[in-house]
Amino acid sequence: MREHMRFVYNEAAVVVEAEGRNYLVVGDLHIGAERRLMGKGVRLYNTVEHMVENLKRLAQEFEAKSIVVLGDVKDTVLYPEKVEGEEVKEFFRELRDYDVTVTTGNHDPHLKEIVDCNAADEFIVGDFAMLHGHKWPSDDAMKKKYLIAGHNHVAISFRDKNGAYYTQKAWLVSSFSAKRGIERYPDANKKIKLVVLPAFNDLIVGTPVNEVAEENLSPLFRNNIFNYGLSKVYSLGGEPLGTAAGLRKKR
């Protein structure tokens, strides 16, 4: 049975085809993040509605009846305020016609108390293992061909010829570091690839790979299970931008 993954160009999403089904995969919704901006005088509305509409559009385009959210559904780390909780409920209510699975992130404590959803640390199907990215993957996950994660809010910063600075979302694809990786995962697939998605929420651009502090990375990178410096960085449009280490040197 044919199994593969495709990047949805110009969107913070991938589509996984496995075991005869298409899965639309996104991460880091951070529902309620706009309230952080309100303290700075910026008022934004209908962010949840926009994310839902975008998900439905992409699911229809790629004939996906299943949606996987790679964690950080809500923005508040602990129990959210009433408004944010209602927005989380509305998000799942609007997607009731889809099979939605959440791989819980570090912002998702109490999520199951707020809404009845299918949530677990990992979701494994066919050649793919999916998780948020803030915890160690299971041994079974590391045996797959692809590990798909979020958490790091991948982005890249640029400075144009006029000196203007800007940041945009990006993808990161990393290879297994056999020497360190086999110490922790002796049965791992040595050819496994780690694919890290940018945040799906438009309000969150992310921390540029050419600026990010090592301590803010996932444990897989901090412990050299995957080589962060040699990770390949791609724009949302699919353009190869270089390696994380190479991009740092250019700054």
Kindly report, residue by residue over 51-96, the tens digit of the pLDDT: 999 999 999 999 999 999 999 999 888 888 888 889 999 999 999 9
Kindly report, residue by residue over 225-249, the tens digit of the pLDDT: 999 999 999 999 999 999 998 888 6
Can you say whether the dihedral through the CA atoms of 223, 226, 228, 229 is positive or negative?
A: positive
Q: What whole-number distance in Å separates Cα of residue 192 and Cα of residue 209?
A: 21
Structural domains counted in the chain: 1
Q: Which residue has the higher pLDDT, 251 or 209?
A: 209
Mean pLDDT of 148-160: 89
Q: Structural domain of residue 104, as residue ranges?
A: 4-250
Kindly report, residue by residue over 5-28, the tens digit of the pLDDT: 999 999 999 999 999 999 999 999
Residue 182: CATH number of its domain: 3.60.21
CA 210 from chain center: how many Å?
Answer: 18
Helical ranges in the chain per DSSP H: 34-38, 47-61, 82-94, 111-114, 178-184, 219-222, 244-250
Position 1 confidence tier, pLDDT thresholds 50, 70, 90: low
Residue 42 has pLDDT above 70, yes or no: no
Give residue 207's pLDDT.
84
Give residue 166's pLDDT.
82
Q: Which residue has the higher pLDDT, 82 or 136?
A: 136
Give residue 39's pLDDT.
58
Beta bridge partners of 66: 23, 99
27 in Cβ contact with 74 (< 8 Å): no
